[in-house]
Chain A
Amino acid sequence: MINTALKNIRRSPYQALAAVSMTGLTVFVVSLFALVSLASQLILTSFETKPQVIAYLSDDHKTEQVNSLISDLTTTGLVKQATYVSKDEALKIYKESVGNDPLLLGTVTDLGIITADVLPASVEITAKSPDNFPTLVSILERSKIVSSTPNGQKEIDFPQDVISELTAWTRAIRTAGLILASILSFNSVITIMIIISMKIASRRYEIGTMKLLGAKGAFIIKPYLIESILYGAVGGVIGWLASYIALLYSTPFLAARLVGIIPLPVDPLVMLALLAVLVVSFSSLGLFSGLLAAVRFLKR
Chain B
Amino acid sequence: MIVFDQVTKVYSTGNTILDNVSFHIKEGEFVVLTGPSGAGKTSVGRLLIRDLLPTSGSIKIEGVELAELKSGQLPDLRRKVGVVFQDYKIIPDKTVFENIALALEIINYPGKQIADRVHHLLDLVGIPEKDNLFPIQLSGGELQRAAIARAIVSEPKILFADEPTGNLDDATAKDIYQLLLEIHNLGTTVIMSTHNEKFLPGHRHIHLEKGKIVADTASSSHSKEKHKKADD
Residue ranges of A at the interface with B (Cβ–Cβ < 8 Å): 205-206, 209-216, 219
Asked if residues B78 and A209 are in contact (CB atoms below 8 Å), the reply is no
Bound CA span A211–B78, Å: 8
Interface of chain B residues 65 through 89 with chain A (CB within 8 A): 72, 74-79, 83, 85, 89
Asked if residues B107 and A214 are in contact (CB atoms below 8 Å), the reply is yes
Known: A209-B89, A209-B91. A215 touches B49 (CB 8 A): no
* New A-B pairs, 11, CB < 8 Å, besides A211-B74, A213-B103: A209-B89, A210-B106, A212-B49, A212-B78, A213-B79, A213-B106, A214-B77, A214-B79, A215-B75, A216-B75, A216-B106
In the complex, which residue of chain A has the Cβ closest to the Cβ of B83? A212
Bound CA span A209–B91, Å: 8
Residue of B85, B106, B154 ringed by the most chain A CB atoms within 10 A: B106
Whether a CB of chain A sits under 8 angstroms from the CB of B183 is: no
A206 neighbours in B (Cβ, 8 Å): 91
A297 to chain B, nearest CB (A): 14
Asked if residues B102 and A214 are in contact (CB atoms below 8 Å), the reply is no
Asked if residues B106 and A215 are in contact (CB atoms below 8 Å), the reply is yes
Asked if residues B106 and A219 are in contact (CB atoms below 8 Å), the reply is yes
A224 to chain B, nearest CB (A): 15
A211 neighbours in B (Cβ, 8 Å): 74, 78
Whether a CB of chain A sits under 8 angstroms from the CB of B51 is: yes
Bound CA span A210–B154, Å: 13
A-B contact count (CB 8 A): 37
B89 neighbours in A (Cβ, 8 Å): 209, 212
- Give 3 nearest A-B pairs by CB, closest first: A214-B78, A214-B79, A214-B75
B51 neighbours in A (Cβ, 8 Å): 212
Bound CA span A211–B83, Å: 12
Bound CA span A68–B51, Å: 90
Could you list 24 A-B pairs, sorted by A, with CB under 8 Å? A205-B91, A206-B91, A209-B89, A210-B106, A211-B74, A211-B78, A212-B51, A212-B78, A212-B83, A212-B89, A213-B79, A213-B102, A213-B103, A213-B106, A213-B150, A214-B75, A214-B76, A214-B77, A214-B107, A214-B154, A215-B106, A216-B72, A216-B75, A216-B106
Q: What 0/1 pattern do residues 143 to 155 of B give for CB contact below 8 A with A?
A: 0000000100010
Bound CA span A297–B166, Å: 34
Bound CA span A195–B74, Å: 29
Residue of B75, B83, B154 ringed by the most chain A CB atoms within 10 A: B75
A205 to chain B, nearest CB (A): 7
Residue ranges of B at the interface with A (Cβ–Cβ < 8 Å): 49, 51, 72, 74-79, 83, 85, 89, 91, 102-103, 105-107, 150, 154
Bound CA span A219–B106, Å: 7
In the complex, which residue of chain A has the Cβ closest to the Cβ of B151? A213
A209 neighbours in B (Cβ, 8 Å): 89, 91
Bound CA span A213–B79, Å: 6
Bound CA span A211–B51, Å: 10
Residue of B77, B83, B91 ringed by the most chain A CB atoms within 10 A: B91
B77 neighbours in A (Cβ, 8 Å): 214
Bound CA span A216–B51, Å: 14
B200 to chain A, nearest CB (A): 25
Bound CA span A213–B147, Å: 11
B83 to chain A, nearest CB (A): 7
Asked if residues B91 and A213 are in contact (CB atoms below 8 Å), the reply is no
Bound CA span A209–B85, Å: 10
A155 to chain B, nearest CB (A): 80
B74 neighbours in A (Cβ, 8 Å): 211, 214
In the complex, which residue of chain A has the Cβ closest to the Cβ of B106? A215
In the complex, which residue of chain A has the Cβ closest to the Cβ of B99? A209
In the complex, which residue of chain B has the Cβ closest to the Cβ of A11? B93
B150 neighbours in A (Cβ, 8 Å): 213
B72 neighbours in A (Cβ, 8 Å): 216
B91 neighbours in A (Cβ, 8 Å): 205-206, 209
Bound CA span A214–B157, Å: 14
In the complex, which residue of chain A has the Cβ closest to the Cβ of B51? A212
B49 neighbours in A (Cβ, 8 Å): 212
